[in-house]
Amino acid sequence: MSEISKKRVLSGIQPSGNLTLGNYLGALKQWVEEQATFDCYFCVVDLHAITVQQDPIELRKKTREVAALYIACGLDPEKVTIFVQSHVSAHSELAWILTCFAPIGWLNRMTQFKDKAAKQQQQDSISSGLLNYPTLMAADILLYQAHAVPVGDDQRQHLEYTRDIAQRFNHIYGETFVIPEVMIPKAGARIMGLDNPLSKMSKSEASDNHAIYLLDEPNRVKKAIMRAVTDSSGEILFSDNPERAGVSNLLTIYQSLSGLSKDETQEHFAGKGYGDLKRGVVDVVNATLDPLQKRYNQIISETGYLDAILANGAEKARERANRTLREVQDKVGFLAAR
């Protein structure tokens, strides 16, 4: 299939905190599977990260770390475009234009905004950037005329918002943006916290036994999983019962990483106890992380390798993004710069 006829996909992850197994199973693993079929753009969304204050040195470090992890997880820089969001100024520029079409009421209703705002200690320090976050995300997607956006289940609402903004703009100015579809992975879309299986595994959660990070050592993986919350029923079955959420979560992790079906996973653990389940999960997680970490270390230690990929990615991304931006600028009536 030629590049022209391939459908386009775009997604991104924030370089704040450490990437977790949730990021891998909810996003990266699926991206890797898509790279052969779609024309893919994957960015590290540093503009989104600063919606809450970041340490500048740490932000730079995490930006490279996330990009290196994209590759370590199996994205092939020869096939897909990997870039840093702030390297393509069109993201900020389109975000501003879309901000002027974004009803405050729509933004106020966003669950992620309400959650994040509630977590800020001082209400005075909630930035309007946090409120406008979904508009920047819409710009990311619409600039590339992406047909599909692979994201975790928690981003569904932001995708709806993106579609609404795109439709609003198209309605006023005529067909401009492709209306993107959300793409949610089948198994593993939602990996929950090990310490609290009722909330999503998050890279911004501070507590010790909450998440498995992609760069964790085998011993830390083991510790966190062995301490994972279960229940007293003793049953190892997938279940929608909130009281069984911990066991279901461990089963989901096992199933996604082993490639077994739900039934096969349950059969595998039939007649066994929670200790066996946890040990099984530890093994399958470490077997996944070991080769991934080896590739990561190689990428990071090879001077200039990653920077060259990001420079090349930014150039390709700019080319595509600027075409859309110019069309939009023209439609809203900006005087062409000479």
Query: 11 or 256: whose CB is closer to ligand TRP?
Result: 11
Query: 203 catalytic, yes or no?
Result: yes
Query: Which residue number, 246 or 313, has a Cβ lying nearer to ligand TRP?
Result: 313
116 catalytic, yes or no?
Answer: yes
Q: Could you say which of 29, 62, 203, 278 is catalytic?
A: 203
Shortest reach from residue 206's CB to ligand TRP, in Å: 18
Nearest to 258 by CA among 290, 292, 226, 283: 283
Q: Which residues bind ligand TRP (CB under 6 A)?
A: 10-12, 14, 45, 48, 137, 140-141, 149, 151, 155, 158
Nearest approach, Cβ of residue 24 and ligand TRP (Å) = 13
Tell me if 91 sits within 8 A of 52, measured CB to CB: no
- From the list 29, 61, 62, 116, the catalytic residue is 116
Largest CA distance in the chain: 74
**Catalytic residue of the set 61, 62, 119, 200:** 200
The token pair at 3 is 């590049």
| Cβ 173 to ligand TRP shortest distance, Å | 22
Q: How many CB atoms lie within 10 A of CB 115?
A: 11
* Pairing, β 39-44 against β 8-13: parallel
C-alpha distance from residue 263 to each of 22, 284, 307, 337 (Å): 22, 18, 44, 61
- Select 47 or 328, whichever has its Cβ closest to ligand TRP: 47
Which residues is 9 bridged to in the sheet?
A: 40, 148
Closest to ligand TRP by CB, 16 vs 252, is: 16
Closest CB 255 distance from ligand TRP, rounded Å: 22
Q: How many CB atoms lie within 10 A of CB 201?
A: 26
Q: Give the long-range contacts of residues 300-303, CB within 8 A, separation 24 or more.
A: 300/64, 300/65, 300/68
Closest CB to ligand TRP among residues 148, 225: 148
Closest Cα partner for 228 from 205, 204, 248?
A: 248
Residue 186 to residue 236: CA distance in whole angstroms? 20
* Beta carbon of residue 112, minimum distance to ligand TRP (angstroms, whole number): 7
Report, as residue numbers or ranges, the catalytic residues.
116, 200, 203
